[in-house]
């Protein structure tokens, strides 16, 4: 008695057709087992890749300045509520999609508190982190405070280090633009940052509770000139607060 593939006995007395059928059936089983093994391997590779992506995103978030509250925020997955939000979302997505292009314009998202500016600005960064791109979040005061702290004798970084760190990041989100600076020097620090990013052709996203006109007055003509020349885009968040 001879054996078919897999060790099963073959009864040749039943004819060649029976033998061929048995062999074909066993070969089909082997192919199925091989495909299942390949599927399992691909599934495991995909699982590990997803774990790596999540770990990388978490690491980037940790050092991005994004507040813990907004670590789960996303721009791409944000669901508009009402026509005004639905009209503006494609504009936000379009700007975010083009920020890595040479000479990309900066943007200003302005509107009352609670309309989602911080959530969406941080969500934009998180969306970037998920595909391995860099970005950073700060408030205007957070940046100027870091510059001031760099002048302390025990500071691990110089003012130049701070400026270059914030000026060089591919996309910088500056929140709370409009809170009054405590000293003239803070205005200068802010302008130096905007000017440096302008010279490096790095896009900046400004988030502010001010009106359009108030924003222009606050940042001053020098910053506004750079925004205009670079094709800066103002996007109004002209809907009711979501916190109500």
- The reply to whether 99 and 28 lie within a common domain is no
- The reply to whether 122 and 227 lie within a common domain is yes
Domain count, the chain: 2
Quick one: which of 112, 129, 113 has its CA closest to 75?
129
Q: What's the average model confidence in pLDDT over 208-216?
A: 89
Quick one: which of 88, 167, 169 has its CA closest to 128?
169
- The reply to whether 99 and 49 lie within a common domain is no
Give yes or no for residue 134 having a pLDDT over 70: yes
- The reply to whether 9 and 123 lie within a common domain is no
CATH number at residue 141: 3.40.50.300
Give yes or no for residue 229 having a pLDDT over 70: yes
- The reply to whether 11 and 85 lie within a common domain is no
- The reply to whether 98 and 217 lie within a common domain is yes
- The reply to whether 228 and 147 lie within a common domain is yes
Q: What's the average model confidence in pLDDT over 219-232?
A: 79
Is there a domain that residue 189 lies in? yes
Is there a domain that residue 130 lies in? yes
Is there a domain that residue 194 lies in? yes
C-alpha to C-alpha distance for 176 and 210, rounded to whole angstroms: 9
- pLDDT tens per residue across span 34-87: 777 766 666 667 666 667 767 877 788 888 899 999 999 999 999 999 999 999
What local confidence, expressed as pLDDT, does residue 39 receive?
A: 64
Q: What's the average model confidence in pLDDT over 138-153?
A: 93
What local confidence, expressed as pLDDT, does residue 1 receive?
A: 47
Is there a domain that residue 145 lies in? yes
Quick one: which of 149, 142, 127 has its CA closest to 61?
127
- pLDDT tens per residue across span 13-48: 566 676 677 777 877 887 787 777 766 666 667 666
Please report the beta strands in the chain, taking only residues with DSSP state E, as ranges in sequence order.
Answer: 2-3, 9-10, 107-110, 136-139, 172-175, 204-208, 233-236
Give yes or no for residue 4 having a pLDDT over 60: no
Supply the range of the domain harboring residue 172.
63-236
How many C-beta atoms lie closer than 10 Å to residue 72's C-beta?
A: 12
- The reply to whether 179 and 231 lie within a common domain is yes
C-alpha to C-alpha distance for 96 and 115, rounded to whole angstroms: 18
- The reply to whether 110 and 151 lie within a common domain is yes
- pLDDT tens per residue across span 146-201: 999 999 999 999 999 999 999 999 999 999 998 777 778 888 899 999 999 989 99
Is there a domain that residue 244 lies in? no
- The reply to whether 103 and 87 lie within a common domain is yes
């Amino acid at each position: 008695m001879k054996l078919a593939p897999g060790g099963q006995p073959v009864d040749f007395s039943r004819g060649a057709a029976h033998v061929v059928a048995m062999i074909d059936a066993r070969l089909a089983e082997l192919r199925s087992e091989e495909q299942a093994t390949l599927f399992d391997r691909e599934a495991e590779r995909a699982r590990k890749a997803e774990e790596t992506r999540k770990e990388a995103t978490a690491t980037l978030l940790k050092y991005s300045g994004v507040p813990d509250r907004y670590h789960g925020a996303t721009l791409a997955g944000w669901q508009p509520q009402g026509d005004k939000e639905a009209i503006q979302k494609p504009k936000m997505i379009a700007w975010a999609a083009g920020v890595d292009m040479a000479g990309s314009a900066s943007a200003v998202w302005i509107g009352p508190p609670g309309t989602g500016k911080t959530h969406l600005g941080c969500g934009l960064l998180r969306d970037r982190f998920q595909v391995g791109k860099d970005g950073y979040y700060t408030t205007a005061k957070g940046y100027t405070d870091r510059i001031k702290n760099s002048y302390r004798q025990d500071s691990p970084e110089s003012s130049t280090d701070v400026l270059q760190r914030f000026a060089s990041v591919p996309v910088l989100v500056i929140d709370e633009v409009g809170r009054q600076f405590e000293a003239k020097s803070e205005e200068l620090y802010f302008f130096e940052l905007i000017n440096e990013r302008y010279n490096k052709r790095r896009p900046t996203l400004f988030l502010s509770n001010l009106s359009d006109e108030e924003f222009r007055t606050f940042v001053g003509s020098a910053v506004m000139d750079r925004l205009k020349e670079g094709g800066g885009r103002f996007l109004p968040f002209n809907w009711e607060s979501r916190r109500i």
